[in-house]
Chains A and B, each alone.
Chain A
């Protein structure tokens, strides 16, 4: 499976070397099959639909440029997520860009993410409670470091295994678990604080 994915990425390189079709034609199916997951993970990490959209494009652009470096040791999905996590970290570091973006943003308000609950038929009370809790989780996630946030999103939004997360973040499984432990504890404490204040 991994070998097949490696072939899917490397074929464009060989073809670019003169075997016929353009490399781009083979790259588009890869984009099609992974773009939703990459966008969703980035959305969780940057909490901004516009930024997530731009970073998704950047992610595939970088993947295309670095396709020769893909060695097939992990799946293409993990490789793409690795690029996405690095992009999200760089995006977060760029505070100045964030500041200007907020000033000029016409994007969907980030608060909308808290309003989106999957079950529209739930009771009004449950919906409100759910929104509050989701908002609390968001505020706790916001306070996590880039790495902890990425790990939390990959575990609980993308439902990846600890081994896969270790692969994406280039950390040991034990370190990933420690980060997750701290992230969950921080969120739980925040939730408890919120409930105590009610």
Chain B
């Protein structure tokens, strides 16, 4: 039958759109009023099933309040906690920096020792012969001197002899 309400008209009616024609039709047409009523009843059952499931005892809601409270406090604490850690780290870094720049007089002895060491190293670098061979060098020098003296004496004696021959 084409005289019944269309799907769209029934849906519009369900959404609360009131139309005189639909209203008059529903008052006279049993089939359409049953269709509308069935849809309304089904949706109502659906709503009631959710409402029934959402009915929880008081302990459930209390536990949920506590859980929310706990989670909110944890979130609240975390930024503070990190702010604390950051502040402490800054203080530590500042302290290290300040102690390093404030102590130069206490390190004078160390600086002198460093200077002496550097001079020693410089001396080692300038030296022709390694320190370990220094005694050998001394012996060699003494030998050369003795040999030189010996040669000089020999030359002198030779010259003297030649003069005597002349």
* Given contacts A24-B72, A28-B69, A185-B7, A156 and B53 within 8 Å (CB-CB): no
The 8 Å CB contact of B69, one of A24, A116, A156, A177, is A24
Tell me, in angstroms, the Cα distance from A163 to B48 when the chains sit together. Answer: 23
In the complex, what residues of B have CB within 8 A of residue A86's CB? Answer: none
Report whether A31 and B54 are in contact in the complex, using a CB–CB cutoff of 8 Å: no
In the assembled complex, which residues on chain B have CB atoms less than 8 Å from the CB atom of A66? none
Nearest Cβ distance between residue A143 and chain B, in whole angstroms?
14
Interface residue tally of chain B, by bracket? 20 to 34
Given A137-B42, A157-B47, A116-B68 contact (CB < 8 Å)? no
Give CA–CA (A53, B71) in the complex, Å. Answer: 14
Chain A residue nearest to B43 (CB atoms) is: A156
A118 touches B46 (CB 8 A): no
The 18 listed contacts between A and B (C-beta, < 8 Å) are A23-B76, A24-B69, A28-B65, A28-B68, A28-B69, A31-B64, A36-B61, A56-B64, A57-B67, A116-B49, A118-B48, A133-B42, A133-B46, A134-B42, A155-B15, A185-B11, A188-B7, A191-B39
Interface residues, chain B, with chain A CB atoms under 8 Å away = 7-8, 10-12, 14-15, 38-39, 42-43, 45-54, 56, 61, 64-65, 67-69, 71-73, 75-76
